[in-house]
């Protein structure tokens, strides 16, 4: 029998590409341009697509040439979330250490399934989770897992909540049989993020079975209405409470909700995707009294912890329910759900197997800046929101729609000589024109069916001068638009 011939490698990936460009210089240029106007340039999708190859390139090109081709697209058509006037969404602009830490994540290329395959990465992730559990007031046995975002964190939490409610047999028999014919419902407020409805759809609960309870004048869930839901003949799978709602930053009465859930042995999940960062701030922690009694908490570090995307965590007060629900084994993964630390597997706490080393950027940021500095920046954002609200109250042509509980403010331009319909049109024009000018950006938002000007401040670079500039611009554009109606 002829001995097999070894294959000959005709081409390999050339590591010498790295010296062709200066990574630090490129990142420095991006950071230097972070405050450039406009925040985003209006564009058409087909025009941007025309800047890229139509077909998958058969032959490669030098990295310098590739970057030159991309330069126009990336320099001019990426939204500058780092801009101090970016108020459109609860989206962090990232931290100066992020480019290096994310590059290191790619260079290390760790698949953090669990400790056996990535011991250093797993240890760092468990360390960050431990820190966050302590800030949430969780007991020592608490645990958690890094995920891609708040939507996946909420989906994961609800899946565990449902299994905890109806029993682990749900894995085998499904939701309908596990509920014994009773209607399964998820309770939340009308201010809850739509990811809960999406999760209900994906989990087979159905969006019709997400009961949105009305809120009070501060956009917090009404406890009397929430308590009523436990009097009906349905199965309450879980209650979802807000710790910083997306639209107004409302924080539900967490301690009261925890009392109610405890009385009915119901899972309490707290969506703190936006507001969770405030746990680092001593001046704001009282707003979250009761969060330590939640069964699960979702927090996005790429929101008010200022980290770059993607970095979300899901914390469990008692992780045994998650381990019971998610536990699986196979011929090549035979680790028990409650083994020693050296057998820790993250897929016992969430749905993912393959996982990037998400915890490293967060770890580096926490270690470099420290919780105290992050907390001070968070509180400064709140002070900016309060200052904006004071400026609105000061001017007769402006009115507050929802006062800031955290760092989100909603307000509108008003004119006593205009109708409500005309005022709505003026506010829509203000937001659109401000986006065109490029110094500030606000998202299109409606409250009680009417358009409002919504300002989300989660940027460590935002200062009072930017708040003043926004108000001046709103007044200038509002008065100009109102005058056009007066002349009609």
- Mean pLDDT estimate for the chain: 91
Confidence band of 21 (pLDDT split at 50, 70, 90) = low
Does residue 64 lie in a domain region?
A: no
Token pair of 79, please? Answer: 């939204």
Give the Å distances, CA to CA, from 460 to 81, 246, 255, 285, 465. Answer: 11, 19, 30, 19, 13
Does residue 325 lie in a domain region?
A: yes
Give the Å distances, CA to CA, from 375 to 97, 146, 277, 382. Answer: 17, 21, 8, 11
Indicate if the pLDDT at residue 12 is higher than 90.
no
Indicate if the pLDDT at residue 328 is higher than 90.
no
Does residue 56 lie in a domain region?
A: no
Ranges 64-68, 384-388, 445-449, most confident: 384-388
Does residue 313 lie in a domain region?
A: yes
pLDDT of 250: 96
pLDDT of 185: 94
How far apart (Å, rounded) are the C-alpha atoms in residues 219 and 193? 13
Indicate if the pLDDT at residue 265 is higher than 70.
yes
Does residue 148 lie in a domain region?
A: yes
Q: To the nearest 10°, the Cα dihedral for 269, 273, 276, 278?
A: -140
Q: How far is CA 311 from the centre of its chain?
A: 8
- Closest alpha carbon to 350 in 139, 119, 153, 55: 153
What's the pLDDT tens digit per position in 143-169?
A: 999 999 999 999 999 999 999 998 877
Average pLDDT over residues 59-72: 83
Indicate if the pLDDT at residue 179 is higher than 80.
no
Q: Which helix (H) or strand (E) holds 225?
A: helix 223-228
How far apart (Å, rounded) are the C-alpha atoms in residues 76 and 184? 49
What's the pLDDT tens digit per position in 348-395?
A: 999 999 999 999 999 999 999 999 999 999 999 999 999 999 999 999
**Percentage of residues of the chain with pLDDT beyond 90:** 68
Does residue 452 lie in a domain region?
A: no
pLDDT of 417: 92
Residue with the bigger pLDDT between 285 and 68: it is: 285
Does residue 256 lie in a domain region?
A: yes
pLDDT of 60: 83
**Percentage of residues of the chain with pLDDT beyond 70:** 96
Indicate if the pLDDT at residue 331 is higher than 60.
no
pLDDT of 473: 97
Spatial CB neighbours of 273, under 8 Å, sequence gap ≥ 6: 90, 150, 153, 154, 193, 244, 246, 298, 299, 300, 303, 312
Does residue 479 lie in a domain region?
A: no
Average pLDDT over residues 426-447: 93
Token pair 């105290």: residue: 372
Indicate if the pLDDT at residue 301 is higher than 90.
yes
Rg of the chain (C-alpha set) = 25
Angle of helix 359-394 relative to helix 464-486, nearest 10 degrees, comes to 50
How far apart (Å, rounded) are the C-alpha atoms in residues 245 and 271? 8
Indicate if the pLDDT at residue 10 is higher than 90.
no
CATH number where 298 lies: 3.40.640.10
pLDDT of 17: 60
| Number of domains present in the structure of the chain | 1
137-141, 162-166, 244-248, 329-333, range with the lowest pLDDT? 329-333
Average pLDDT over residues 170-192: 84
Alpha helix (H) residue ranges in 77-194: 98-108, 119-136, 150-166, 170-173, 175-178
Q: The pTM is what?
A: 0.93
What's the pLDDT tens digit per position in 184-224?
A: 999 999 999 999 999 999 999 999 999 999 999 999 999 99
Confidence band of 4 (pLDDT split at 50, 70, 90) = confident
Q: What is the strand order of the sheet 235-242 is part of?
A: 143-147, 312-316, 296-300, 267-271, 235-242, 184-189, 210-213
Residue 161 belongs to what domain range? 103-366
Given a contact cutoff of 8 angstroms between Cβ atoms, the answer to whether 321 and 347 are in contact is: no
């Amino acid at each position: 029998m002829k001995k097999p011939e070894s294959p000959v490698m005709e081409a390999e990936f050339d590591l010498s590409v790295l010296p062709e460009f200066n990574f630090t210089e490129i990142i420095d240029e991006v950071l230097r341009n972070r405050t450039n106007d406009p925040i985003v340039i209006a564009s058409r999708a087909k025009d941007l697509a025309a800047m890229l190859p139509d077909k998958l390139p058969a032959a490669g090109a030098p990295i310098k040439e590739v970057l030159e081709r991309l330069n126009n697209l990336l320099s001019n058509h990426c939204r500058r979330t780092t801009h101090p006037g970016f108020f459109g969404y609860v989206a962090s602009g990232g931290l100066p250490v992020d480019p290096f830490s994310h590059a290191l994540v790619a260079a290390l290329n760790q698949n953090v399934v669990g400790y056996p395959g990535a011991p250093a990465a797993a240890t760092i992730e468990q360390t960050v989770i431990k820190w966050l559990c302590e800030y949430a007031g969780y007991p020592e046995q608490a645990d958690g897992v890094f995920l891609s975002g708040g939507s996946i964190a909420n989906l994961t939490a609800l899946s565990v909540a449902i299994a905890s409610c109806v029993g682990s047999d749900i894995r085998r028999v499904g939701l309908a049989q596990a509920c014994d014919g009773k209607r399964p419902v998820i309770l939340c407020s009308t201010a809850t993020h739509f990811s809960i409805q999406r999760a209900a759809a994906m989990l087979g609960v159905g969006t019709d079975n997400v009961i949105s309870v009305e809120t009070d004048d501060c956009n917090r869930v009404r406890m009397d209405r929430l308590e009523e839901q436990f009097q009906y003949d349905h199965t309450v799978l879980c209650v979802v409470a807000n710790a910083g709602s997306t639209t107004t930053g409302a924080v539900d009465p967490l301690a009261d909700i925890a009392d109610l859930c405890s009385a009915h042995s119901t899972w309490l999940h707290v969506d703190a995707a936006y507001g969770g960062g405030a746990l680092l701030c001593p001046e704001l922690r009282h707003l979250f009294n009761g969060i330590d009694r939640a069964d699960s908490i979702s927090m996005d570090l790429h929101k008010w912890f200022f980290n770059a995307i993607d970095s979300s965590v899901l914390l469990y007060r008692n992780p045994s329910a998650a381990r019971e629900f998610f536990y699986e084994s196979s011929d090549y993964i035979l680790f028990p759900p409650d083994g020693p630390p050296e057998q820790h597997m993250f897929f016992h706490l969430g749905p993912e197997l393959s996982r990037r080393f998400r915890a490293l950027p967060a770890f580096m940021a926490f270690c470099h800046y420290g919780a105290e500095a992050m907390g001070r920046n968070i509180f400064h954002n709140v002070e900016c929101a309060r200052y904006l609200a004071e400026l609105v109250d000061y001017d007769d042509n402006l009115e507050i729609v929802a006062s800031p509980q955290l760092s989100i403010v909603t307000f509108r331009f008003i004119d006593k000589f205009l109708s409500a319909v005309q005022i709505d049109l003026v506010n829509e024009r203000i937001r659109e024109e401000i986006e065109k000018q490029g110094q500030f950006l606000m998202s299109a938002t409606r409250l009680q069916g009417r358009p409002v000007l919504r300002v989300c401040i989660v940027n460590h670079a935002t200062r009072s001068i930017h708040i003043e500039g926004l108000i001046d611009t709103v007044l200038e554009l509002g008065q100009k638009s109102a005058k056009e109606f007066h002349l009609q």
